[in-house]
Structure 1
Amino acid sequence: MGGAGPVEAVAFDYGGVLTTPVADSLALWRATSRIDPQSFTDCLRAWLGREAEPDSPVHELETGKLDAAGFEQALAARLRRTDGSRPEPAGMLADMFAGLHPDQEMWDLTDELRARGVRVAILSNSWANTYPDRLYDGRFDPVVISGQVGLRKPAADIYRLLCTRLGLPPERVAFVDDARPNVEGARRAGLHGLLHRDAATTRDALLSVIESGAPVGPTTSHPSKEPRA
C-alpha cells in the first residue's frame, strides 16, 4: 500500500465540513420561513438525539427508507411557524440546505492531501441532498452516501463499508466530521476520528496524524446539534 505515512486515506463528511456550517443554513431557513425555533429543536431532539428510536423519520431518511416528500410531510406536521400555522412541506429540504456553500479552504486541503499521496473519500449522511458534480469528478474515491447504501453514521457497518471500498484496514484511515457522535463512531470502528471545527485546525490535526499515526484526541466542536449532511 502506498501513502505518505501511517494514514493512507482521509474520508470527509460533506455538509458542514466541505461546506459552510449546516447550522448557519438552518438558521437562515428558520428565519426566512418563520419557523418557531423551539418546535424545530424539539423535533430534532426526538428524531436525532441519542435516545431517538431507530425508525425515526431522520434515521429512515438517511438510510433511504423514507423519501424526501414523506420526510417533509412528517417534519411539517411537527413544526409550527411563529404565527402558529404549519409550514408548507413541499420543497422544505431544499430550502433547509439552500444556504450551504463550499468551504474553499477545505477543498484546497483535499488537493493538498492528494498531492502528498493520501487518498481522499466521502462519507456522508444524506437528507436527500443534491451533491455537486465535482464530488464525483475523480477527486474522491470512494463516495459513500448513506441513502445509497442503506447505512448511516454512526453505525459501525458504514465505517467498515468505507474501509472495504478503500481496501484499507481502519487504522490506515482518518475520518473528519463536524458531529461528535459520528467521530466517536469512527473511533469505535478503529479509524482515526477528527472533529472538524475549521479548516486550519483540521489541516493541522490531519497532517499530524498522517505523519505520526497517533490517534486524534477530542477537539472543540460547534455547539449546535443540528443535522449534519
Structure 2
Amino acid sequence: MDLFGQGTDTSPGTRSAVLFDFGGVLTTSVLAAFEQLGADLGCDPRLPLRLLARDSASGALLVAHEEGRIGELEFERGFAERLRAHGVAIDPAEPGVVRRIQSAMEPDRAVIDLVARVRQAGYRVGLLSNSLGDDCYAGFDLPGMFDAVTISGEVGVRKPSRRAYEIACERLGVRPRDAVMVDDLEQNITAAERAGLAGIVHTDAEATAAALKSVLRPSAQTP
C-alpha cells in the first residue's frame, strides 16, 4: 500500500521530494484573481494579465518585485500607471491592486491536506514561490508545513530561472533529479523539467495526487 492508498505498482517512480508552488496551488487560482481584478476595474478582465505578459514595462515591474528589488507599493504605483496608460481609471483612494488580488484568493484546503499527507508519508516537501506582495503568505504557517521554504523575493531569483529550482532543492537537501515540482503555470513546469526535476501542472488536488503516485518512489512509511 503506498502513500495514497493505491495497491502495488509495477513501475514505481524514483522521486523522493516534492516542491509546491504557492499561489494557484495552495490557494485558489491566481489567474482567476487577476481576471477578477480586471472586472472590478471595469476593463477587459484579461487586461491585467495581458499587460504583465506582453507589456515590457509592466513585466519589468513584476520581475523586479518578485525578485525583491522593489516593494509592493512601488510595484502597485508603476502597474497602476500602466493600467491608466491603457485607459483604466484607478481611484487612488481604493485598495491597491495587490491587496485586491490577494483578497480574491482563498486557501485550497484539499491541497494543504495533500502537502501534509506527502510529508507524513516520509517524503521531503518544500515551497518554491514567486512572491507577490509584502505580506502574501499571511495566515499560512509555512515553516510548520514545509521542510524548506524558498521565496523569490528573499533569494533574489524567480521561476522560471533555473537557479530558483536549484536553490529550492539545495535548501530541501535533495538533487533536482530526486524532486518533483507542482505548479499551476506550464512555463514553470517546463523550466523545472529542464533543470532536472519532474513536473506536474496543477489543476486540482485530486489530479495532482494521482500524478504524484506515478513519480514518487515507494514511501518510506510503507509497511
State if a TM-score over 0.5 links the two structures: yes
Large movers: runs of 4+ above 4 Å: none
- Please, what TM-score do these two structures have when normalized by structure 2? 0.82
Separation of aligned partners in 2, 1:155 and 1:34: 34
- In structure 1, the gaps of 5 or more residues are 213-229
Whether contact under 8 Å (1:36, 1:81) holds in the other structure is no
Q: Identify the match of residue 107 of structure 1 among 95, 112, 115.
A: 112
- Please, what TM-score do these two structures have when normalized by structure 1? 0.80
Separation of aligned partners in 2, 1:126 and 1:20: 15
Please name the residue that 1:162 is paired with: 168
Q: Which residue type is aligned with residue 98 of structure 2?
A: L
The alignment partner of 1:97 has SS state of helix
Please name the residue that 1:226 is paired with: none
- In structure 2, the gaps of 5 or more residues are 4-11, 219-223
Please name the residue that 2:152 is paired with: 146
Please name the residue that 1:61 is paired with: 65
Whether contact under 8 Å (1:77, 1:86) holds in the other structure is no
Larger radius of gyration: 2
Offset from partner CA, 1:38-82 (integer Å, 9 cap, x none): 6424412325xxxx58x8111111101121111111111111499
The alignment partner of 1:11 has SS state of strand
Q: Which moved more, 1:89-98 or 1:167-176?
A: 89-98
Identity of aligned residues (%): 37
Instruction: Please provide the CA RMSD for this pair.
Output: 2.6
Distance 1:204 1:30, change over 3 A: same
Q: 1:23 deviation in Å?
A: 2.0
1:88 and 2:61 aligned: no
Please name the residue that 1:28 is paired with: 36
Q: 1:193 deviation in Å?
A: 1.1
Separation of aligned partners in 2, 1:99 and 1:105: 18
Offset from partner CA, 1:82-128 (integer Å, 9 cap, x none): 9x453135622111221111111101111111121011110000112
Separation of aligned partners in 2, 1:166 and 1:58: 26
For these two proteins, the number of residue pairs brought into alignment is: 205
Offset from partner CA, 1:156-176 (integer Å, 9 cap, x none): 111111111112111111110
Q: Which residue type is aligned with residue 99 of structure 2?
A: A
Q: Which residue type is aligned with residue 93 of structure 1?
A: V
Distance 1:39 1:201, change over 3 A: closer
Q: Which residue type is aligned with residue 94 of structure 1?
A: R
